[in-house]
Amino acid sequence: MSQHSDKTNLEKRHEIMEQKLRHQHIATVTDKKKDPNYGLLRGLVPQDLLKRFKIYCVENGIDNSQGLENLLREYFEWKDQQTKSYKSPNVEKEK
């Protein structure tokens, strides 16, 4: 069997959505490249994480750049909440 015929329905839907998002991605990335408030971030991740990330982006109708921004924001908001919950309220400094 060829690799193409072994694709699951989810993978096929993913490919169709990814094609639809390419135009949106090009426009968004071009705008962000010109924006001085944005910087480039690159990295290599395991294939299973890459696949999950791409599915996340397709399911949410966003490009990879926006997906990465969303996930980083969510993570750091969660991290900030964790940090706040570990700090003891009403702790006064000794004088």
Predicted model pTM: 0.61
Joined together, the tokens standing for residue 35 give 């924006």
Outline where 1-95 has alpha helix (H): 9-34, 47-60, 64-86
pLDDT along the chain (95 residues), means of 10: 64 72 61 90 96 95 95 97 78 53
Domain ranges of the chain: 8-86
Q: Give me the pLDDT at residue 30, please.
A: 73
What pLDDT is stored for residue 86 in this prediction? Answer: 82
